[in-house]
Structure 1
Amino acid sequence: MEVVDVHHRYGKRFVLRGVDLRLSPGALTGIVGENGAGKSTFVKIMAGELRPSAGRVRHDGRFGYCPQQVVVNDALTVRQHLLLLQAAFRLADLRHAEEVMDVLGLAEFVDERAGVLSGGTRQKLNLTLALMHDPRVLLLDEPYQGFDWDTYLRFWELAARLRDRGCSVLVVSHLAYDTERLDELWCLSGGRLQRHLAGAA
């Protein structure tokens, strides 16, 4: 996925001022920035949820998007969510979803309605739905909010697995935790991306 000269504004206020980014295959990339810096706006533009004021986004192949706001139906069980998206994606099986659930510890809640799940468990479902079609590019906006420490570590284990398979993984957060796990780190400030040093996991 490649972002070229993206600008965006709300009214007269510019939040993105000529942002460029290329997500390479098999790379774990992070974007950090203060609240209100425009991180979620940028990810929405990358995912096609929001049209930029100027610039373009190019991508090849399947991509998955896990928004900051959990998007689930409280009346449906975890299993019903999976079956619904299995039909939408025309998937032969739920192998990838089951793998993600096993890593995150979601499998035990498969017959629970989303409305009774804790915030962290709802986020596990949110992440599973973004990954179940085996995307080649994965866009994650604050993906570990509500996770306990064990699940947080499991998340990074999952991210590393995906990276090692050749997936491009973008993690967006307002906190620069565990930057040594990243291959690339960027900071969004003043509407622009600035490259920071990061070490591979």
Structure 2
Amino acid sequence: MRVHDVHKAYRTRRVLRGVSLSLEPGTLAGIVGENGSGKSTLLRVLSGQISADAGEVAYRGSLGYCPQEAVLNDALTVDQHVRWFRTAYRLDGTGRADELLEELHFAEYRHTRVEQLSGGTRQKLNLTLALMHDPHVLLLDEPYQGFDWDTYLRFWDVSTRLRDRGRCVLVVSHLAWDTGHLDVLHRLQDGVTTTPSEEGHPAGTPRAVR
């Protein structure tokens, strides 16, 4: 994914002031920033939900997007969501979704309506629906919100395997304490990302901070 000089304003409020970043295949990247720094706006631009006022966004292959607020139908079951998204993605089967239901430990809720699920389980479904078509580029907005510790660790296991298979995974969060899982970290502040620094990083920390 290539993002070059992206700007976005809402009337007189300039949210993004020239964001540029580059994400290579096989990268587990992150964007951190304080609340109100423009992270969700940037993700909505990258996912194509809204248009940038200026700048360019380009990527190769298919795109997956897991928004912070799960867009689910309370009246439908987990299984019904999976079947609906199978049709939307034009998939031959639901094998990938079935694997994630087992791996994230919520297969027992297949026939449960979303309105009866906890916030953490709703987020598991939200993540599964974003992943089930095996996208080449995956955009995740606060993806582990509501997860217990075990599921949080499983989330990073899933993300690492995607990276190892050549996928590009971008995790957006307002927290910086989990950045040890990342290959590269971008900081969004005042509507721009900071300048990259490829050198001087100790083992166990991101290879670059942008």
Which TM-score applies when normalising by structure 1? 0.96
Counterpart of 1:139 in structure 2 is 139
For 1:87 and 1:13, locate their aligned partners in 2 and report how far apart those are by CA, in whole Å: 39
Give the corresponding residue for 2:26. 26
Q: In structure 2, the residue corresponding to 1:121 is in which secondary structure? A: helix
SS in 1 for 2:147: coil
Amino acid at match of 2:180: E
1:176 aligns with 2:176: yes
Does the residue aligned with 2:43 lie in a helix, a strand or coil? Answer: helix
Pair 1:41 & 2:70 matched: no
Runs of 4+ more than 3 Å apart: 195-198
Whole-Å Cα distance in 1 between the matches of residues 112 and 96 of structure 2? 20
CA-CA distance at 1:40 after TM superposition: 0.1
Mapped to 2, the partners of 1:69 and 1:52 lie a distance apart of 21
1:101 matched residue in structure 2: 101
Q: Distance in 1 between matches of 2:88 and 2:127?
A: 17
Alignment-derived partner of residue 161 in structure 2: 161
Shift of 1:95: 1.2
Q: Deviations over 1:8-42 (max 9, x none)?
A: 11111111111111121000000000000000000
Unaligned runs of 5+ in 1: none
Q: Aligned residue for 1:199?
A: 206
Deviates more, 1:9-18 or 1:187-196: 187-196
* Gap runs ≥5 in structure 2: none
The C-alpha deviation readout for 1:105-129, integer Å capped at 9, x for no partner, is 1211111001110000000000000
What displacement does 1:199 show? 2.8
Identity score, percent: 58
> Which residues in structure 2 correspond to 1:32-111 (within 5 Å)?
32-111=32-111
Equivalenced residues, count: 200
- CA distance, structure 1, for counterparts of residue 177 and residue 81 of structure 2: 31
* Separation in structure 2 between the aligned mates of residue 56 and residue 100 of structure 1, nearest angstrom: 33
Residue range with higher mean Cα deviation, 9-18 or 129-138: 9-18
* Root mean square deviation, CA, Å: 1.1
Distance of 1:123 and 1:137 partners within structure 2: 19
